[in-house]
Structure 1
């Protein structure tokens, strides 16, 4: 008897996602979900199983690494779906998200110096300055959309400055970022690629204290360096994944704390507790509910379920982060929660593909919540919760369309 197929587009996943995923999690460790434009996918529902899948060498992110594979890779599917030029296959193939094993390890090794603790910590004063400027502008206006007028320009500007995009060019780059997120993939991607090519050329001639210059100059002990396509792929990954996820985490976290006024009061009484609280807020306010799909390289059994070679599995961060097997009273936001050794939320993933920008995202979120809620108590949400709307994307991804506020 075939497994029933669940659609994450069902209204229950929008109306009560925590409850809907809880029902799936208790139903089975793996459930079949419908995948727009493709065959059904196995959704992994429990925290420890998701963590195990993200480190299982039998599961790969590049479909072409499945022996005897037939069909298009993720990169080929993206190029066709978004009507991108053929050269974008090179940038997709060079993307760390879609690489496995030694190829992924090599890229990770060469990219890591650009995300050093020193470099991320050094961003804080400038991050604070950008945040203050945006909030001053919003306060003068009196009201507006927290995403469009604060969180998106904050994370977009920080990413631009980290990469090394010249100040005069940042408005255009942020426009490309937003256009890409809005569905104009071909034009905006071309613009970002052509700009990045010229930036790499300039930084080769005149290095600066920025990420592109670091990537241009970095080599390992064998003299291996990143290719131009690999550097472009990293920039595209940062501006289209790192920027948008944090831009939407910030309003989600604001909503979470407004829904838990006693937790907000605790942080206002003890603002030094905010760095510790970030893990709990990342657990409950993560805007990205699923991991990049993995493909079985052989027939195998996972969490007691037989999986056929070539079948896709994806871990549900939404379900894993609320798993009562790991988190006591998971539906309650507890900013003083202390997690046991080896236990953590999965909002940044786990295993070899753990988010390389995790420290940057944490710092951006910490600065934003400090400025929005702890240094001031005047922020108000000007619509009721049932008036908020979301942008639905495949596999249940939900991003707030807007968060109207008044300062």
Structure 2
């Protein structure tokens, strides 16, 4: 079943039909290789935590869909690892994303959001992705890692080329990978010469003094993943939340009146229009049965977070945005040992971004231009979000 194009252009319609007919489907991936697609909430949740479903590509059978191919210096990351290596690396960076650490970042995150909104002026039109929802997370994650401002401007173009390759430029993804490899090589050298009080300097110190805990490829790959995922997932989460509010003005008015609802807003928007359509691909280390369907060892399993989060057996009337809904257990940020490491930070940034936007703009609406989605099988994010705004109040 070749569904790649339809899944990129109208994912929820396709997932609704697939979910209703069978819990697991044999499909063709974007590289023309076969994979198994899992669509129902209970099956996806169980599979996310199943240790028999490996992220390590060495378990992949020849001819199965493997997803993005990266050079070794960027590929030795948490999205390709199982325990014990996964446990070791996650422990090294986990302290940077604890709730306590994130709470300490709330004030600088709000200051960044206010400055971006100040720069927009009192009224006019703007692409909110370019002017607000993209600059905020790239600033936050780069500050956390210690990436100089001068190195940030090309990062969105590079990540975009990897997530949504342009068919007219087949070499763009390879060029982006080469550019990112050069970027991180230079960044590591800079941090070794001039260490600072940041996460990347801390990781380099671990590598250089305790090499048995972190290889050079793991160090480079960790930096790549933290920057890539910390930026991409969050810009999509913020942008999708703002879009959902604009599409539901009655709900947006309610949140303006009761800003204490914003944490619930973020959770429901994550369920309704999360940052990822699919979890990272997995490879069974033995034959497994998912939803009554036998999947042979080594074949590729794709777990649809988007389909699971709109499963009516778990979330009644799932295609309706409802801020009073019980969203507990939604899968937008994963489940199990591979649950998103940066989830507390992504939630905080989205809460702050939405709150600041609604406080500052009394009027916020679509322009005549339609927002455009990235053409991606895995990510769910906007290319742009053209809006008209008015009534900006100065930041306090």
**Distance in 1 of aligned mates of 2:217 and 2:123:** 42
Instruction: State the match for 1:28 in structure 2.
Output: 22
Higher mean C-alpha deviation, range 113-122 or range 177-186 = 177-186
CA contact (8 A) 1:181 1:240 kept: no
Aligned 1:341-352 pairs, distance under 5 A: 343-352=328-337
SS in 1 for 2:26: strand
**Distance in 1 of aligned mates of 2:108 and 2:371:** 32
Equivalent in 230, 236, 249 of residue 261 of structure 1 = 249
Distance 1:326 1:172, change over 3 A: closer
1:43 aligns with 2:26: no
Aligned 1:214-229 pairs, distance under 5 A: 214-218=202-206, 224-229=212-217
Instruction: State the match for 2:235 in structure 1.
Output: 247
1:291 aligns with 2:279: yes
Q: Which digits, 9 at most, give the CA deviation of each residue in 1:148-190, with x for residues without a partner?
A: 1111111111111111012344335566556666753444444
**Distance in 1 of aligned mates of 2:160 and 2:308:** 29
Instruction: State the match for 2:100 in structure 1.
Output: 118
SS in 2 for 1:10: helix
**Distance in 2 of aligned mates of 1:303 and 1:178:** 34
1:14 aligns with 2:2: no
Equivalent in 99, 118, 130 of residue 81 of structure 2 = 99
CA contact (8 A) 1:63 1:73 kept: no
Displacement of 1:379 after TM fit?
1.7
Q: CA RMSD in A?
A: 2.7
1:53 aligns with 2:41: no
**Distance in 1 of aligned mates of 2:125 and 2:15:** 35
**Distance in 1 of aligned mates of 2:197 and 2:318:** 42
**Distance in 2 of aligned mates of 1:71 and 1:311:** 9
Instruction: State the match for 1:358 in structure 2.
Output: 343
Question: Which 4+ stretches in 1 moved above 6 angstroms?
Answer: none
Structure 1 residue runs of 5 or longer lacking an equivalent are: 80-87
**Distance in 2 of aligned mates of 1:38 and 1:8:** 9
Distance 1:321 1:271, change over 3 A: same
Distance 1:377 1:157, change over 3 A: same
Distance 1:304 1:174, change over 3 A: closer
CA contact (8 A) 2:55 2:80 kept: yes
**Distance in 1 of aligned mates of 2:163 and 2:32:** 22
Q: Which digits, 9 at most, give the CA deviation of each residue in 1:193-240, with x for residues without a partner?
A: 444344444545654321112323458xx9853233222212211333
Instruction: State the match for 1:406 in structure 2.
Output: 388
SS in 1 for 2:279: coil
Equivalent in 289, 296, 301 of residue 313 of structure 1 = 301
CA contact (8 A) 1:157 1:174 kept: no
Structure 2 residue runs of 5 or longer lacking an equivalent are: 166-171, 390-396
Equivalent in 329, 340, 351 of residue 317 of structure 2 = 329
Aligned 1:262-281 pairs, distance under 5 A: 262-281=250-269
